[in-house]
Structure 1
Amino acid sequence: MKKHHLPLLLMLLPATFSQYGCASKSNESVQLSESSQENGWVELFNGKDLTGWTQINGKASYKVEDGAIVGTTVMNSPNSFLATDKEYSDYILEFEVMLDNDINSGVQFRSISDPAVMEGRVHGYQFEIDPSDRKWTGGIYDEARRGWLYPLSLNPDAQSAFKKGAWNKARIEAIGNRITTWMNDVPVASVVDDMTPKGIIALQVHSIGNAEDAGKEIRWRHIRIKTTDLKQREGHSAFVVNLVPNNLTEEEKAQGWRLLWDGKTTKGWRGAYKDAFPAGGWKIDAGELQVLESGGGESVNGGDIVTEQEFDAFDLQVQFKLTAGANSGIKYFVTEKENVKNASAIGLEYQLLDDARHPDAKMGRDGNRTLASLYDLKTSEKNQRFLKPIGEWNQARLIVKPDNTVEHWLNGIKVLEYKRGSEEFKELVSKSKYKNWENFGEAAKGHILLQDHGNSVAFRSIKIKELKAI
């Protein structure tokens, strides 16, 4: 039947025929199919069989049942994937998913399975499907590669979007280097990354460790893709994880972010207690602001550097890369009023440290000199799963709210919180090396400092958003 005859035929159908059963689902499918074709959508799953899909990795079973692809968990198998036979680059992908409440799954996109790499193991971006109490559905995980890129700790408002025991509609927009996800029309994750511009799409059945989880099912249906006339859906204003070095997107600018370091010059920075940037000890190379190795010791080479501007309430992001055994820090509320006699300037400190190799990790109290801790005052609560190895880039985030609540974050996870000037804070100071500094850490505003502790450390993608009281 020709397409242009279909609307007339539907108008002639008796009301009771579409209202009470028989052909209503069939007609709905035809109308959806026509709408998809007219808007440039292509169905990746025909609703009948697995044509266009091939299973790679793992032993989980995949079948078609009631118009859906059904994946079933099995014991003694690694993660299994049902992958498209084609690769795709820029696109919008939509699908519906429903799964048992106590298992985990995901959908790979722009992913790779190459026999020459990890023996063909699927790796790349994954849209997380997580019905657990963690509620990270729609987050972005980098399977078998970098781990979590966008945990939903970064967007807690989206954690309630997924509905257990029901069909859920997912949307992935991968356009250029910007990736955004939606769950049931709620904006979830926003990542800017250029590592993998194209690849397969694959449906994951996760490995299981308990026999009682065998036989659990994940169902996908209405899987469709659009590869032309692509436009980002409006209304996605979530926090952006931008992995392109020293870059700001229009979305970040609209949210109030600006670069605190331009990635090329010393503009906006100077030496602590100095009028100019240090003549030595620091180097700008390939978009990195590097502390040069000087054999250890505070400020013995170039010395600390500080922002020319002072800040009170702010949200700060800094990517940092440590070398083996390195020690450094990000200090804030630095006033330069204290006489430090050529030592590091005084201020609150987000500790940067190789915990496994540097002796400072075992000093202080209860680990309060370890990575991401409030140095010598409060210990960060880190999960090793979210740490990048020494020599790779980690992301520090430091939030100082107008009410003086301070948060330390590491790779998208909050690891510490306190309130400046509170009784708890004063008690911590009284037990620290700063106990003799009057009103330590309570200045109304101050500089942000990057520490030269004599070890080779690199910084990049330094961004700030100033916060105002609501």
Structure 2
Amino acid sequence: MKKCNLLLFALLLSTFTLFSQAKWETLFNGKDLNGWKVLNGTAEYEIKDDAIVGNSKLKTPNTFLVYDKMYSDFILELEFKVDDGLNSGIQFRSNSFKDFKDGRVHGYQCEIDPSPRAWSAGIYDEGRRGWLYPMEKNPKSKTAFKANQWNKVRIEAIGNSLRTWLNGMPCANVLDNMTATGFIALQVHQIEKDEQVGKTVQWRKIRICTQNLDKVKTPYKKEIYQANCIDNTVSDEEKSAGWQLLWDGKTTNGWRGAKLTTFPTGGWKMENGILKVLNSNGGESTNGGDIVSVQKYKNFELSVDFKITDGANSGIKYFVDTELNKGEGSSIGCEFQILDDQKHPDAKLGVKGNRTLGSLYDLIAAPENKIFRKSDFNTARIVVQGNKVQHFLNDKLVVEYERNTQIWQALVNYSKYSVWPNFGNAETGNILLQDHGNEVWFKNIKIKEL
């Protein structure tokens, strides 16, 4: 009797173990494209040496080879190899709807990028928001890609967490809640040059796990930066680092007009989590006027996502003294310039480009080779530690300077700010968003006091 019980226990244990183990599903059998279909473009896919080969083609938009099944939480692994001069990607949690851009494939993409930019395994939001995790957020991972060799990528999409690895190196770490379910797809990117015709990107050993993910997911470590892409929120990781919302995404709490005791009654609009300064034909602080934080700040890191319209001009100011300039025009402070460099005339004024996007307005020019996406949101970041100040645009340092020095004073004396006593040297000041009469959008306004 005891022997039978032991056998029954062993059988139950083995059954439990079998069903509790992670199971991997192969998406490509190495022989044919059963279960896959082409969407959007007309680039061609074929099979060679147990791999799917995508062939670049002129005069066709991005072409996607889509696996005909939807996935929510999963771990995806595969290998890819790409020719120099191409760009490609692996779509996940992606979709194609007739009522969204006439069926254009859109959703998360794990980047394949053999260029010197080296953003492979970054996360891009194809057809929607653009870059969620460019590899400037984790520059160490730029060394993971192996040119002209097979590269192994791992994507873990579990709940709101999206993480990638390339050849075993952690690359992207995104927190996002826009899309919970979608398909897997392989991309042949649109090409524009004759010399790119015939270049290929290849994929093989494609497999996915959707069950018992706790057994195979990578334990979470705070080893790389996490990008919180859930608008106007502060993640647990951000909270632990000291970040807080400067604008809550809904109300005027914490803000007032620069020349008012309350928030302006016009000129600004809060809509769907976006704070908009409205168009008023380019006048400087002539409509709703600038708005400032109620609180003043000394040492801080400020992050603001912004998007411009054609020809727009605006700015983010700091060390603002609202008691200065009670008359016409904007309140006085150091300014991270926001500008359409191609279409606004101010870009060609000032001295050697010191009024262009990302510059310390009228004082220090940002470089011309900036990372900027006019059709998408961009991130301005300002870091102040004592007299040392840095401007970052989309995670790239574009301006660095030190206040309260002879060099600083010489810069000020040669600028439009020379008429303001002790300009830029204040110990504390307000944060300001500028009304320059053009429509500009802001969101994800966060600050961390240092």
TM-score norm. by structure 2 comes to: 0.81
Matched, 1:63 2:42: no
Give the secondary structure class of the aligned counterpart of 1:46.
coil
Deviation at 1:264, TM superposition (A): 2.8
Which of 394, 400, 417 is the equivalent residue of 1:418? 400
CA 1:278–1:169: 2 relative to 1, 3 Å: same
How many residues of Structure 1 are paired with residues of Structure 2 in the alignment? 429
Which of 325, 337, 358 is the equivalent residue of 1:372? 358
Percent of aligned pairs with the same amino acid: 52
Which of 331, 354, 375 is the equivalent residue of 2:317? 331
For residues 460 and 408 of structure 1, what CA distance do their matches in structure 2 show?
Answer: 17
- Superposition map of 1:233-244 within 5 A: 233=218, 234-244=220-230
Deviation at 1:58, TM superposition (A): 2.7
Give the letter aligned to residue 402 of structure 2: R
Contact 1:62 1:82 in 2 (8 A): no
Deviation at 1:356, TM superposition (A): 5.5
Superposed CA deviations along residues 372-424 of structure 1, whole A, max 9, x for unmatched, are 332222333456883234xx644333233566141231xx2536212123666
Give the secondary structure class of the aligned counterpart of 2:143.
coil
For residues 46 and 35 of structure 1, what CA distance do their matches in structure 2 show?
Answer: 24
Contact 1:36 1:42 in 2 (8 A): no
Which of 396, 420, 426 is the equivalent residue of 2:380? 396
Alignment-derived partner of residue 463 in structure 1: 446
Pick the structure with more strand per residue.
2
Gaps of 5+ in 2: 1-16
- Superposition map of 1:5-404 within 5 A: 38-56=21-39, 57-65=41-49, 67-73=50-56, 78-114=61-97, 120-209=103-192, 213-230=196-213, 233=218, 234-272=220-258, 275-278=261-264, 282-291=268-277, 297-322=283-308, 326-336=312-322, 338-341=324-327, 343-355=329-341, 358-381=344-367, 386-389=372-375, 393-401=377-385, 404=388
Superposed CA deviations along residues 187-210 of structure 1, whole A, max 9, x for unmatched, are 222334444433321222334455
CA 1:327–1:132: 2 relative to 1, 3 Å: closer
For residues 416 and 359 of structure 1, what CA distance do their matches in structure 2 show?
Answer: 21
- Superposition map of 1:428-467 within 5 A: 428-467=411-450
Deviation at 1:156, TM superposition (A): 0.9
For residues 425 and 18 of structure 2, what CA distance do their matches in structure 1 show?
Answer: 61
CA 1:148–1:424: 2 relative to 1, 3 Å: farther
For residues 385 and 183 of structure 1, what CA distance do their matches in structure 2 show?
Answer: 23
CA 1:315–1:161: 2 relative to 1, 3 Å: farther
For residues 287 and 326 of structure 2, what CA distance do their matches in structure 1 show?
Answer: 16
Give the letter aligned to residue 296 of structure 2: E
Give the secondary structure class of the aligned counterpart of 1:106.
strand
CA 1:36–1:314: 2 relative to 1, 3 Å: farther
CA 1:43–1:287: 2 relative to 1, 3 Å: same
Deviation at 1:447, TM superposition (A): 1.9
Deviation at 1:47, TM superposition (A): 3.7
Deviation at 1:127, TM superposition (A): 0.9
TM-score norm. by structure 1 comes to: 0.78
Gaps of 5+ in 1: 1-33
Contact 1:287 1:460 in 2 (8 A): yes
Task: Tell me which moved more, 415-424 or 146-155.
Answer: 415-424
Q: CA RMSD in A?
A: 3.5
Give the letter aligned to residue 397 of structure 1: R
For residues 449 and 114 of structure 1, what CA distance do their matches in structure 2 show?
Answer: 41
Deviation at 1:453, TM superposition (A): 3.5
Give the letter aligned to residue 47 of structure 2: K
Contact 2:372 2:378 in 1 (8 A): no
Contact 1:187 1:235 in 2 (8 A): no
CA 1:366–1:224: 2 relative to 1, 3 Å: same
For residues 463 and 385 of structure 1, what CA distance do their matches in structure 2 show?
Answer: 21
For residues 116 and 256 of structure 1, what CA distance do their matches in structure 2 show?
Answer: 42
For residues 237 and 402 of structure 1, what CA distance do their matches in structure 2 show?
Answer: 28
Give the secondary structure class of the aligned counterpart of 1:159.
helix
For residues 104 and 320 of structure 1, what CA distance do their matches in structure 2 show?
Answer: 27
